[in-house]
Every structure is written in C-alpha cells, then in structure tokens.
Amino acid sequence: MIETLKNAWKVKELRNKILFTIFIIVIFRIGSVIPVPYINVSKLWNATTTNDFFNYLSILTGGGLEYGAIFAMSVTPYINSSIIIQLLCVAIPALERLSKEGEEGQKKLATITRYTTVALSLIQGTAYYFYLRNSGYLSVSGSGARVFAAFVIVLAFTAGSALVMWLGEQIDVKGIGNGISILLFAGILSRGPQAFEVLIKNFKTNPVAVVGIVIAFFVVIGFIVWMTDAERRIPVQYAKRVVGNKMYGGQNTHIPIKVNMSGVMPIIFASSILMLPTMILSFAGDKYTIYNQPSWHKFLTLFSTRGVFYAVIYFIMIIAFAYFYTTIQFNPVEMANNLRKNGGAIPGIRPGKPSSDFISKILSRITLLGALFLSVIAILPIAIGNIGKINVSLGGTSILIMVGVALDTVKNLESQMMMRHYKGFLD
C-alpha cells in the first residue's frame, strides 16, 4: 500500500488528485468544528459526550454534533437518502426502469438522491434544533429571537449537509476514490486521537485490558481485509458454437460471489433501528419517570448500546438484514436465465430451475457466513468494552468502513497506475 502511494505521487496527474482530495478533507474537517450561531457549545459538548445516541452519531459525523457545527449532519443524510432510493428502486417500477437505463438513468437517480438528501437534512436539522431548544443549549432568550435562531440554525445545518454532499461529488470528479466514502472515512478517523487518549488513561489502571484491545484491533483489521477479498466461485462452462468460419465459446469461467456482498449495509440498517429507543430517551429526557411510567423507561434503557440485550438483538438483526439486502441485490432466476441465453451452464447442473436452485443454495450459505462475520465484528467492541470496562470509541462498524474505504482507494490508485504502466500494490 505504501509502495502504491509512493508510485502514485510520482505521477503528476495522480499527485494533483491526491492533493485535491486532501484539500477537500481539510475543508470538511474545518466545517466540522465551526459551530452555528446561537448555540452554547460548552454545555452541548458535556451533554453529547455522555449520551449513547449522540456518541454513536458523532462517530459517523466526525464529532460535528458535539460542536453543533455547520457540518453536524455530515454525510448521514446522503447515506440515508441513497439507501432509501436504492430500496425504492425495488419497490417502484419507474425507479427500477431508471436504474436500468444506463448512464442517463443513473444521472436522474443521482438528482433524485440529491433532493432527498436536502429534504432529510431539513428534517434532521429541525429535530436537532428542537433537541437543543428543549435541553437549554441555545444562547438566546425571547420568542422573537428564538424564531430567528431556529431559522438560522436549521438553515445552517441543511446548507452544511448540502455542501458536504457537493464536496463529496467534487472528489468523485477531481479526486481519488468515492467522495462520500472518503469523507466518512475522514470523519471516523478523526475520532482516533480521542480513542488513543482513552486508552492511555486506562493503561495506568488496567494495562492488560488495553493491550488486549490493541491486539484485537489489529487482528480485526487483518480479518476484515481477508474476508473483504474472500469469494465463492461458481464454475461455468460455455458451449461451443460456429458462426460463419469462426468458432465462439467453449471457454471455462466462473461467477464470483463475495462472502461479504452486502458490505456494511446490514449493520447500518440494524443500528439505525436499534438507536430509536436511545434517541427517544435522549429527546424526551426523564419524562417517562416523571409521568409515573417507569416501565417504559426501563424498557427503553434495555437498548443501551453497552447492554447484553442490545448485543443479542443487534446480532440477530444484522443476519436478517444481510439476507434481505442480498435478496434485493441478486436474483438467482435471472442469473440462471442469463447463463442459458448465453450458452453457459454450471458443470453437473441442468440449465433452468436446477441452476437457479443451485445458485440460491450457494447464496444462502455464503450470505450466512458473511452475516455472521458482520455480526461478530459489530458486537466485538461491545464485548471487549464490557469485559475490559473500557468504552471503545472506534467500533467494529467504524473499522469495517475504514478498511473498506482504504482498500477501495488503493485499488482505485492501482488501476489508474496500471494504465500508466506503473508497478504497485499488485506485485
């Protein structure tokens, strides 16, 4: 990887792209610490750093929520809108047709995703404002001033999310890698110093646990790299056919099926749903105990991100969403029909329904293996934190995202260098 970066730096065009990407990341990080007007930042910092819900969001937003920053929403509205549009492409025929219309259809879907991002940013910014107002984190008083402050705060959050989306698109065009992924990577990586500080503080009191966490961290990274590249190859043979004086087909190939084909999407789906009870507690405070409803309060506290109940439900939901995401992405019947139309067949399996059943069987087994991998990675920080009594800031999801983005970026650099006959990571 280091050799790839060194070789890429020698190419002027790639060097300019790398510098442009770094420049965008610097702008993103500056916007993540500049607070919007009318917010008491010191009070907000103390509250969000001790709140499970906002700790979770802060990891994805690079700490912008803790400062009440312009980029407080970060890339989360865009990610949510992308997931929504992707799911709607399966449910709405018009969107499904757009997704199959090639480059022009993808441009229209990208436009729809942008508008959805702005709408979600407006909704999330409004919800965040009401949290700030109800919790007493605003530095204004009087109804007129509050109305003006509400307008400014919500507009700043919405504009910040739109600007982050635009910055990500600029990386796509003029930089290296996927822009939104790079910004998400930068936001998660910015939590590294804070995590390191926590480890240093706990090393004095519990050195064994800290050493274990560090070892587990590197082991998990190696395991993620290995599983990310793992795939199951279904062999395929194509029949020979003669067209004129030429013979076509006859070659042997394979269908590669990734073990972790759904990526981090099942974790994002599951964590988003399981954070709802914690979000309710964060926004409602102690109202459930005030109104003589301690049972509701006790039920909602079961979903604490460090609890055993949360870990078990989290584990099950990740597996369920992995199967759901694979189902909407892959159609074994369509794959079998395409093989038959092109004169291909799986050795020992008859074309048609037997082939689709065989592919479905393989997909089911591979999906289970990938889902178990994601589940273990997701709950491992919870287990380590409970055993070592240390709050692990960089969870399994964060590590999975960082490793995935790093590998994709290096492969992107490698592919561009191969076109210029440079040696690198693949040697």
Q: What is the pLDDT of residues 272-290, one digit of tens each?
A: 777 777 776 666 555 444 4
Q: What pLDDT is stored for residue 329 in this prediction? A: 76
pTM of the model: 0.76
Q: What pLDDT is stored for residue 92 in this prediction? A: 83
* Top-confidence residue, 8 or 357: 357
Q: Is residue 422 part of a domain?
A: no
Q: Is residue 179 part of a domain?
A: yes
Q: Are residues 207 and 151 in the same domain?
A: no
Exposure string over 378-402, b if 16+ CB within 10 A, otherwise e: bbbbbebbeebebebbbbbbbbbbb
Q: Are residues 83 and 140 in the same domain?
A: yes
Q: Are residues 198 and 181 in the same domain?
A: no
Q: If 0-12 CB within 10 Å is exposed, 13-18 middle and 19+ buried, where does residue 260 land?
A: buried
Domain boundary, last residue among 149, 172, 191: 191
Q: What pLDDT is stored for residue 427 in this prediction? A: 47
User: Considering the chain, what is the average pLDDT of its residues?
Assistant: 78
Q: Alpha-carbon distance 252 to 59, whole Å? A: 46
What range defines the domain where residue 218 resides? 192-393
Q: Is residue 263 part of a domain?
A: yes
Structural domain count, the chain:
2
Q: Is the pLDDT assigned to residue 326 strictly greater than 60?
A: yes
Range in 160-164, 386-390, 403-407 the model is least confident about? 386-390
Q: Alpha-carbon distance 250 to 92, whole Å? A: 40
Q: What tokens were used for 242? A: 């003669």
Q: Are residues 227 and 142 in the same domain?
A: no
Q: Are residues 134 and 282 in the same domain?
A: no
Q: Are residues 217 and 99 in the same domain?
A: no
Contacts of 267 (CB under 8 A, 6+ apart): 318, 374, 378, 396, 397, 400
List the 252-258 sheet strands across, edge first.
252-258, 231-238, 344-345
Region 156-169: mean pLDDT is 91
Q: Is the pLDDT assigned to residue 397 strictly greater than 80?
A: no
Region 72-84: mean pLDDT is 83
- pLDDT tens for residues 411-420? 888 777 777 6
Q: Alpha-carbon distance 112 to 96, whole Å? A: 13
Q: Is residue 332 part of a domain?
A: yes
Q: Are residues 173 and 237 in the same domain?
A: no
Q: What pLDDT is stored for residue 288 in this prediction? A: 45
Q: Are residues 97 and 131 in the same domain?
A: yes
Identify the CA nearest to 135 among candidates 258, 43, 222: 43
Domain boundary, last residue among 191, 222, 240: 191
Q: Is residue 426 part of a domain?
A: no
Helix (H) / strand (E) element for 234: namely strand 231-238
Q: What tokens were used for 259? A: 């073990």
Q: Is residue 415 part of a domain?
A: no
SS3 75: coil
Q: What pLDDT is stored for residue 309 in this prediction? A: 83
Q: Alpha-carbon distance 228 to 223, whole Å? A: 8
Q: Are residues 154 and 41 in the same domain?
A: yes
What's the start-to-end Cα distance of the chain, in Å? Answer: 11
Q: Are residues 6 and 82 in the same domain?
A: yes
Q: Is the pLDDT assigned to residue 245 strictly greater than 70?
A: no
CATH of the domain at 73: 1.10.3370.10
- The confidence band for 60, taking pLDDT boundaries of 50, 70 and 90, is low
Q: Alpha-carbon distance 7 to 211, whole Å? A: 35
Q: What tokens were used for 304? A: 């604490």
Q: Is residue 409 part of a domain?
A: no
Q: Rounded to the nearest 5°, which phi and psi values hold at 234?
A: -90, 115
Region 119-141: mean pLDDT is 82
Q: Is residue 290 part of a domain?
A: yes
Q: Is the pLDDT assigned to residue 328 strictly greater than 60?
A: yes
Domain boundary, last residue among 149, 168, 191: 191
Which DSSP letter does residue 139 get? -
Q: Is the pLDDT assigned to residue 99 strictly greater than 90?
A: no
Q: Are residues 244 and 314 in the same domain?
A: yes
Q: Are residues 54 and 187 in the same domain?
A: yes
Q: What tokens were used for 181? A: 């992924």
High-pLDDT (> 70) share of the chain, %: 82
* Top-confidence residue, 153 or 198: 153
Q: Is the pLDDT assigned to residue 425 strictly greater than 60?
A: no
- The confidence band for 378, taking pLDDT boundaries of 50, 70 and 90, is confident
Q: Alpha-carbon distance 6 to 331, whole Å? A: 42
